[in-house]
Structure 1
């Protein structure tokens, strides 16, 4: 017999028997398997038996499954699976009339671009406040001369318009498959999306006609940002992807639309069917297929708790972050895209403690021009108003690759030419960004800091470039910022022994705990095998943070923390006990951290922390939790 397989599970079996005992050869077995495959599709589509005939038939159980992936966009949702449209394959390959095919291709390209413009310029995109750079980049793909020219040349060889699109798509696949950089490979999905959309235009399909349930969970191998935008936002609860990365355009748009998204779920499409109930947990990077009633009830409870907490945090939006013993804490937020600016008002953050300028570079297919950079920085400053914004200069390299920057392949990019090292090696790149920042901040305050500073000389060299750009602007009579502050990121452990020399040269510093602890423990934070091996709430890590805070206090240097620790209540509680009073958290962490601050008595907490710092344990997380409970601190 041969099993009837559907969605990675058996829904039946095809049994073949012979009157007398005999051995079936390989060809016969293959034939039976083929018939079983067709039967499985027929049964699943309802063409073999009507639904009422299936009600009383006991089929193989649809067991719950836990699917492990990666977090692409935070949030929690459940609903019914909707499969994204499969790639379109051309039926006719050879053209009967070349001129007719050229006209069809030309008209289809016009229709494609009009369709994209309507999506990207329409109300859905504007209301969502989507990242401008992602959408403009996608529009650039459709206008790409090389892509259009390749399509036209393929038609001239005698292919139909559909076959020409398919050939060019395959050529792109082959070219991108040879790329080593994951970012470059991600752009293949945008071209795949465009090719499929163009094929649908050629087939006469109209977008937006699909009827969705009110609790749709979209499942796809991968998809482009325009395809995602075409689904009605009010019906889309979550997104599951078999491929992709957190840097893909679809993931960026999902985060902008606040759609929970889990990606890189291996074998996803083979394990589910349209209409299956599924839970998407963007907080853990997991999905639960065909969950049991108790699992669904637990998720519904979590969602209710989450909703209640969000309502509680919203009430704290305009409340000053002051501890019970009167210590004023400044709570800022992190940002990197235009859409993040909405979080300033939504969370009540007092400013942007870290604006990651590299995001604009990462979603662009070419080096952003001076005008483009200036426009973004002006937009950020306008949105912030009187609230401070700290811009971190370009931090690329390592796991953040720019395909248009020709760099040598490095064996260990996390320890290679990244961040300020790249900026100093290519000063023209850094100067262009500094010029854009100075121009955008003319007449107002500008705070700029340099990442990955490892030596005092590196900071001196970077600050000299600021002076050079200021002098350049003065010579041309251009307005400068009313107030200029230049700082350094402390994320290289080497600076712990250079603070006495560094701090007098800076206007402020910010501690990047993510990289600082990665290098301190020699554990790659992107490697799941070691990323959770060492707890940042360990005595060595906390003593290092305590030393930085003490040195800054002694020299009167303003200091903040902008790593993940600043956005988690327990970790932020530890930072407060060490003397930090300026925290920059992800938008989702502002409310929880502010609630913790309002419940804390730092005088008593600091005495407890002093005793814990002398421990030789690998982690004092449990002790800190006990201390917080003892002091009635809400974590």
Structure 2
């Protein structure tokens, strides 16, 4: 590979060496060309005239099968395989035995390496592993352009200095103008074959230990100030770092003769290829976390574990193909102003952390990592997704104006923080905030929220190695209530299951966890868990009003069963002579559509209902909101959604019940305007959204929006968003 000869001569020599060492009559290398076709680049044993003439379309023939599957194909009688594609120009008629392995790096297939023999035989396992190892080396040099820049052979050359615009998806609001810093976490693996597998196993174990220590330190460090969902993300990330299956696969790879670094890469490439064929967005996000861990593990093996970006310039914008949440936290927060990724979703872990950091972020920026160079200027709008690489002066001025406007808006929100959220015609709306940790509570005063409408209690259970003691729970809940002062706090009981798994509990894999054993279903099957939590809440709220919310209630009997467990704990406290809460209010979270038809019956025993708009509308429209292929297909400002909310509000009002809404809709001014028009009087959202929502409310006339939304419910439009936006524009309702 290092010889100072032409690329073609090196490939020709390589196939000759492989054929001789494997006693194969044929060895061929196919590389991917633009358009995903596979071209024969070199061969020993086939007709030399077929080189650069024989091409396979994506998925065509056995070579296409190897590339598509991303896995070895080992056949004793290749011509009789249904995928066999006969190419007379190659002269491969007499060959029956076939072994093909993908040339893979970074989860991308760059080609296929093939050996063939005339005799019918299956290649031995060690032969497959040997060919895979050679393919790893070949992938390294092909991907880095040492042989060919294969992916761009058919592409016209573009000026590297020209401005480029990318229409991306905005994932975290804000405007950034800065300097490109390329995120290059990959450690180049120089040595593939191990001299001493025992030594490599020891190196791997040592590096895994250091990796786990580093992740633990990240969580314990006060410097990062991880709160709410961002802390949940890193807690989940820690679980992956301790995954025994991942560790065992790397150990097995070392035992085949690879170095620790090569074993990490092989296992991760296999994982990427498997996940790339899955449609489940949750599994795809887990793959990004595992990528992040693998890159970190390689840095520990290489001894390169210092703080990244120590010399990064002021106003740096990170540009990367993908990134894990922990990698983002490695960079200096005082110099980082934006993030541009090719691969990420709004629910991705890195997006959650970026939002918690207040960092503008865009994703789906296809090709940006190839187009960008370190030091380039870049402008990013995290709201619209518009991104300009090497922007002109006019574009920079326009983005500067956007940035200044956002700063003015933030200053305006500060001036109305202590003013009531009241419409122009005197209708008061309660604006509450969502929280999950004690560190979230200062936002209550900063945002001017009327209270905590949703406090997620499961996080305290997920961050430890064992279930928190009753005394620890009690102290924690008391701290939250004391922080809130006279403002109300609604504690949601444990919403476990789905993607929220306790590290110290056994969980069975479910085909559809969102609809599986979670939330109140777990609480009723394991009543001691709910009683344990209720006992701590009752003790913590002595002399105060305690508000408890039961998640994912499907029918009235389910709620009554959950409430009876809480009532038993109240009675227990009375019999023991303990000081009790002044009042205990128990509500149901309305996330399951079936419960909407039972609200009059529910309100006889529930003190309040909180609409969980995210799950409720996902279940109503049968849409996985984390799946980009369908999440944008349905607009939740649809007549069906508005009619559903209207029915809930009216039914609750007729029963004399209190109803609130928490979810993404509450924090979006246009969506919140529609909800207010339908009669929703309490909205709970992230604290950063309270300013814009209050501004919208104070510019709104309730009577007008109520009448308008009532008419919209009778329409058949796919989305009512444009009509609502036009209404706001005509009446001067502020939506920014």
What range describes the TM-score normalised by the shorter chain of this pair?
Answer: 0.7 to 0.9
Gaps of 5+ in 1: 3-7, 10-22, 42-57
Is 1:568 aligned to residue 668 of structure 2? Answer: yes
Q: Deviations over 1:25-65 (max 9, x none)?
A: 9599999x979945999xxxxxxxxxxxxxxxx95553514
Contact 1:537/1:571, CA 8 A, preserved across alignment = yes
CA distance in 1 between counterparts of 2:734 and 2:377 reads 35
Residue 679 of structure 2 corresponds to residue 579 of structure 1: yes
Is 2:177 aligned against 1:75? no
Other-structure match for 1:196: 298
**Equivalences for residues 53-68 of structure 1 within 5 A:** 59=159, 62-66=162-166, 68=168
> Cα deviation per residue 1:530-580 (whole Å; 9 max; x = unaligned)?
444444444443333233223323332222122333223333333333333
Answer yes or no: is 1:457 the counterpart of 2:553: no
CA distance in structure 1 between the partners assigned to 2:441 and 2:499 by the alignment: 25
Q: Matches of 1:74 and 1:564 in 2, distance apart?
A: 14
Structure 1 CA distance for aligned equivalents of residues 502 and 545 of structure 2 = 30
User: Structure 2 vs 1, CA of residues 129 and 405 (structure 1 numbering), >3 Å: closer, same or farther?
Assistant: closer
Deviates more, 1:331-340 or 1:493-502: 331-340
Pair 314,200 (structure 1): closer, same or farther in 2 beyond 3 Å? farther
Q: Is 102-111 or 368-377 further displaced after alignment?
A: 102-111
Instruction: Check the 8 A contact 2:219/2:231 in 1, yes or no.
Output: no
1:204-353 paired onto structure 2 within 5 Å: 206-207=306-307, 210-243=310-343, 250-263=350-363, 265=365, 268-284=368-384, 287-353=387-453
Equivalent residue pairs, number: 593
SS of the residue corresponding to residue 124 of structure 1 reads coil
Distance 1:475 1:360, change over 3 A: same
Matched, 1:493 2:593: yes
Return the offset for 1:198: 1.4
Distance 1:175 1:296 in 2: 41
Query: Are the structure 2 counterparts of residues 456 and 167 from structure 1 closer, same or farther at C-alpha, using a change threshold of 3 Å?
Result: same
User: For the residues of structure 1 that align with 2:247 and 2:696, how far apart are their CA atoms?
Assistant: 59
SS in 2 for 1:233: coil
2:494 and 2:620 mapped to 1: Cα distance? 23
Mapped partners of 1:220, 1:384: distance in 2: 40
Q: Distance in 2 between matches of 1:211 and 1:613?
A: 56
Cα separation, partners in 2 of 1:198 and 1:587, compared to 1, 3 Å: same
CA distance in 2, matches of 1:541, 1:390: 25
Correspondence for 1:512 among 605, 612, 632: 612
Residue 415 of structure 1: how far off its partner (Å) = 4.3
Measure, in 2, the Cα distance between the counterparts of 1:229 and 1:386.
35
Aligned-pair CA distance for 1:316: 0.9
Q: Equivalent residue of 1:553, what SS?
A: helix
Quote the Cα distance in structure 1 between the aligned partners of 2:660 and 2:560: 21
**Higher RCO (CA < 8 A, seq sep 6+):** 1
Determine the structure 1 residue equivalent to 2:507. Answer: 406
**8 Å Cα contact 1:95/1:158 also seen in 2:** no
Task: Say what the alpha-carbon RMSD is for the aligned residues.
Answer: 4.8
**1:312 shift after superposition:** 0.6
Report the counterpart of residue 87 of structure 1 in structure 2: 186
- TM-fit CA distance, 1:270: 3.2
Per-residue CA deviation, residues 283-321 of structure 1 (Å, 9 max, x unaligned), is 345644334444443333222222111111111111122
1:78 & 1:532 partners in 2: Cα distance?
Answer: 28
Secondary structure of the 2:441 match is helix
Distance 1:148 1:413 in 2: 22
- Asked if 2 retains the 8 angstrom alpha-carbon contact of 1:539 and 1:619, the reply is yes
CA distance in 2, matches of 1:40, 1:615: 58
Q: What do residues 351-374 of structure 1 show as CA deviations (whole Å, max 9, x unaligned)?
A: 11123345566x759675456766
Alpha-carbon shift at residue 380 of structure 1 (Å): 3.6
Q: TM-score, normalised by structure 1?
A: 0.76
Query: How far off is 1:166 after superposition?
Result: 5.3
Counterpart CA distance in 2 for 1:83 and 1:534 is: 35
**The one of 532, 535, 556 aligned to 2:656:** 556
User: Structure 2 residue aligned with 1:124, among 204, 220, 223?
Assistant: 223
> Structure 2 unaligned runs (5+)?
1-5, 8-32, 35-47, 55-110, 112-137, 150-157
Contact 1:176/1:184, CA 8 A, preserved across alignment: no
| Alpha-carbon offset, residue 593 of structure 1 | 1.7
Distance (whole Å) between structure 1 residues aligned to residue 442 and residue 717 of structure 2: 42
The more displaced of 60-69 and 486-495 is 60-69
Residue 385 (structure 1) aligned with residue 498 (structure 2): no
Distance of aligned partners of 1:337 and 1:247 in 2 relative to their CA distance in 1, 3 Å threshold: farther
1:586-597 alignment runs, 5 A limit: 586-597=686-697
Answering whether residue 263 of structure 2 is matched by residue 167 of structure 1, we say yes
Secondary structure in 2 aligned to 1:66?
Answer: strand
TM-superposed CA distance for 1:280, in Å, is 3.5
Distance 1:164 1:513, change over 3 A: closer
Matches within 5 A, 1:369-380: 369-370=468-469, 377-380=477-480
Q: 1:570 to 1:68 in 2, by over 3 A?
A: closer
Contact 1:492 1:519 in 2 (8 A): yes
Q: How far apart are the structure 2 equivalents of 1:468 and 1:503?
A: 20
For residues 399 and 460 of structure 1, do their structure 2 counterparts lie closer, same or farther at Cα, with a shift above 3 Å needed? same
